[in-house]
């Protein structure tokens, strides 16, 4: 609540300032708690796995950065890289989901529901089949192209005509584009055994089997996308007031939309290229953050940045433990947990407005 609004509601200027500072303090403490929780979950991700390793061995491997035992190599070569990749891709997907919901003013927006994951997957499978791409670098560029193309097509279809984009129109456009791209992807993958073998390992959405080379390959794109997303918070707040009001306040709507689309493409393209499609994370996290801090993007984006990797790492930990000695991929766990959130948003989306 602004000072002026507080005074119109019957509060004095002093009371308004106290309430404003109290809100900042509460949100700041919440952000610190979210950061501490993320650190704890990341440590748990390194310590826990399909194989039980004593905590002392885990700590010694991290502290010394070496060791020749099998347990030390598991910690250094497998668990730490997958944890760092989970942190980076979680940040990317959480911010991308929040950006898309703010940009489209659509509470159902998410990289999966709006067809962005399907676009990236189609581009990757075509790259594998047509050009024989089999490296991370190749996946990244094809995933970027597919993600950007799908986002543009869905947005154009959702805003076609005189009426403004609505959540339902964008969701339907995303479902239609996603279904068409999925058909292309399946057709190409099933017609070639080599393509299918490469694609199936990528499309399940997993943090396992990735080394630090994967992280270094996508980190620059995620870093640029993250910085851009956080800088767009105030502009997205103005857009939330409506296009006419935003123009009256001097906002450059086209610039904000273009920069937001660039950020979404960088974040989704890098994350999807690194770990494959991860469903529902970008949808659920902004709604959880919005229930805690409201629609202010200056707070919503940092909270999403912390919540998403926390939930992704938790999903990865659950997947390692529930089917021991096997492993359930993180993308499957997030889909299982996120589907109820999606249904809840559809049925009760007016409770927490954008």
Q: Dump pLDDT digits (tens) for 99-141.
A: 988 877 777 777 777 788 889 889 988 888 888 887 766 777 8
d(CA 147, CA 115): 8
Alpha helices for the chain (secondary structure H): 3-8, 13-47, 55-64, 70-74, 80-104, 116-131, 136-158, 167-191, 193-203, 212-231, 233-239, 243-248, 253-275, 281-293, 297-322, 330-348
Average pLDDT over residues 312-323: 90
Short-list 211, 207, 201, CA closest to 45? 207
Q: Which two tokens stand for residue 183?
A: 């058909």
Q: What are phi and psi of 314, to 5 degrees?
A: -65, -40
Per-residue pLDDT at 216 exceeds 80? yes
Average pLDDT over residues 235-244: 77
| Sign of the C-alpha dihedral computed for residues 273, 113, 30 and 16 taken in this order | positive
The whole-number pLDDT of residue 22 equals: 52
Q: Which two tokens stand for residue 177?
A: 């584009």
Mean pLDDT of the chain: 80
CATH, range 86-348: 1.10.3470.10
Question: Angle CA(301)–CA(276)–CA(101) in degrees, nearest 5?
Answer: 30
pTM for the model stands at 0.83
In this structure, are residues 257 and 108 in contact, taking their beta carbons and an 8 Å threshold? Answer: no
């Amino acid at each position: 609540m602004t000072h002026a609004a507080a005074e119109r509601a019957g509060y004095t200027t002093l009371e308004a300032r106290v309430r404003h500072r109290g809100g900042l303090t509460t949100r700041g403490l919440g952000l610190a708690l979210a950061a501490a929780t993320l650190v704890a979950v990341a440590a748990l991700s390194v310590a826990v796995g399909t194989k039980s390793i004593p905590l002392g061995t885990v700590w010694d491997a991290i502290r010394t950065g070496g060791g020749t035992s099998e347990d030390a190599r598991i910690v250094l070569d497998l668990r730490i890289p997958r944890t760092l990749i989970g942190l980076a891709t979680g940040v990317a997907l959480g911010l991308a989901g929040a950006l898309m919901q703010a940009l489209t003013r659509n509470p159902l927006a998410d990289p999966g529901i709006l067809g962005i994951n399907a676009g990236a997957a189609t581009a990757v499978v075509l790259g594998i089949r047509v050009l024989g791409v089999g490296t991370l670098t190749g996946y990244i560029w094809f995933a970027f192209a597919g993600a950007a193309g799908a986002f543009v097509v869905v947005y154009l279809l959702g805003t076609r005509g005189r009426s403004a984009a609505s959540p339902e129109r964008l969701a339907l456009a995303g479902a239609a584009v996603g279904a068409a791209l999925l058909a292309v992807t399946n057709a190409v993958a099933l017609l070639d055994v080599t393509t299918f073998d490469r694609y199936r390992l990528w499309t399940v959405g997993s943090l396992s089997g990735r080394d630090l080379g994967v992280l270094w390959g996508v980190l620059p794109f995620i870093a640029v996308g993250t910085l851009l997303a956080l800088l767009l918070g105030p502009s997205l707040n103005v857009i939330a007031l409506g296009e006419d009001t935003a123009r009256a306040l001097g906002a450059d709507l086209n610039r904000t939309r273009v920069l937001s689309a660039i950020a979404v493409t960088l974040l989704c393209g890098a994350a999807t290229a690194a770990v494959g499609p991860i469903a529902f994370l970008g949808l659920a996290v902004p709604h959880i953050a919005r229930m805690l801090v409201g629609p202010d993007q200056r707070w919503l984006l940092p909270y999403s940045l912390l919540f998403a990797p926390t939930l992704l790492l938790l999903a990865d930990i659950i997947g390692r433990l529930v089917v021991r000695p096997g492993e359930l991929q993180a993308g499957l766990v997030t889909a299982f947990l996120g589907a109820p959130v999606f249904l809840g948003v559809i049925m009760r989306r007016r409770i927490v407005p954008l």
